[in-house]
Amino acid sequence: MNSIELTAPAKVNLVLRVLSKRKDSYHNIYTLFERISLADHIKITRIARGITVVCDKSVTGRPQDNIAYKAAELILKTAKVNAGIRVEIKKRIPIAAGLGGGSSDAAAVLTGINKLLNLRISKGKLMRLGAKLGADVPFFIFDTPFAIGRGVGDKLQKLNLNKKFFHILIYPGFKVATKDVYRGLSRDLTNNRGGVRITLPKDWNSLERLLHNDLEAVVAAKKPVIGIIIKCLASSLGRRAIVSGSGPSVFCLCPTRKEAMKARVKLLHGAAGILGKRGQIFIVETKR
C-alpha cells in the first residue's frame, strides 16, 4: 500500500464548562464532545524522503507550522522510521472556528501513517502523542461519536449513546483565537469544580436543554455579531443555540434532516445580511 485516504470529521461541544486555570496556562474543562459529519479529506502517500504537506486553503504561512506536518514529524520520530510522507488536505471545515478542524487533521495523519507504514502503535499511545499536539486531538483518535472530556479535554470517557442528532451550524466568516477567549474569562476560576456532572440526553429535546458553553459570553463580547446570530436563531427558528468550543461557530438542534433543511432556507433569508459574504451555513449530523 503506497497511499491511504481518510476523512477528518469536525466536532461540536454540546457542553463546555471551564473549571480552573492550570499552572501550564491551560484550563481544566468538562465537556461533552460530539463528532459531526462535516469533514476534511486527507490523503497520505509514502514518498522517497522528507515531509510535504499541501492544502487547498491557506492555513499557515509555512507548511512546517501546519499541525498536520507536526503530526507526521512526531510519529515518524517516535517510531524511528526513516520514511518520506506527503499529506494532501482538502479543507471543508472552517479554520479556527471552534470545530476542531486542525486537531482532526492531525489525528487523521497520526492514524493514517500508523496504518500506512504498519507501525502497530496502539490507540492509547497515539492518543498520548496527539495530546502533545493539541487538546482536542485525542478525541478524534478515540474514534467515537460522543465522549466526555476532562482535564484539558484529553482525558476521555466514551458515551454509548445510540442517537443521531441534526444541527444547523453557522460559521460567521471570521476567526477567533482560542487563547484570547480563555484570557477573557473574567470570573474566578481558582475553585476546581471537579464534581460537575451532566444528565445524558435521551432525545433532541433533552439535548437542547443541556446545551451550555462557559466561553460563549466572552466570544459574544469580543464579536457582538455572535450574540445577534444566537438571537436570530431563537426568533426565526425558535431554537436554542450556543457557540462551539472557543467559537466563533454557532449551532442549534433540529429533530430531523427535513426540518433542518427547511430551517436552513428560512435562515438564509433572515440572516443573509448578518453573515456577509464569508459566512456559511451547514446542515450536519452526528458522525457515527
What pLDDT tens digit does each residue of the chain (288 aa) get? 899 999 999 999 999 999 988 888 789 999 999 999 999 999 999 999 999 999 998 888 888 999 999 999 999 999 999 999 999 999 999 999 999 999 999 999 999 999 999 999 999 999 999 999 999 999 999 999 999 999 999 999 999 888 899 999 999 999 998 888 988 885 555 444 555 667 777 676 788 889 999 999 999 999 999 999 999 888 888 889 999 999 999 999 998 999 899 888 888 776 667 777 788 999 999 999
Q: Which of 40, 136, 154, 214 is catalytic?
A: 136
Q: What whole-number distance in Å separates Cα of residue 69 and Cα of residue 61?
A: 13
How far, in Å, CA of 179 to CA of 158, rounded?
A: 27
Model confidence, pTM: 0.94
Active site residue 11: yes
Q: Residues 11, 40, 70, 105: which is the catalytic one? A: 11
Fold of 166-285: Alpha-Beta Plaits (3.30.70)
Contact between 244 and 98 under an 8 Å Cβ cutoff? The reply is yes
State which amino acid sits at residue 7.
T
Of the candidates 154, 175, 176, 40, the one whose C-alpha atom is nearest the C-alpha of residue 105 is 40
What is the sign of the dihedral through the CA atoms of 149, 155, 160 and 164? Answer: positive
In the chain, where the domains are located: 3-158, 166-285
* Assigned fold of 3-158: Ribosomal Protein S5; domain 2 (3.30.230)
Residue 158 annotated to the active site: no
Neighbours of 152 (CB within 10 A): 18
Rounded CA separation 140/97 (Å): 16
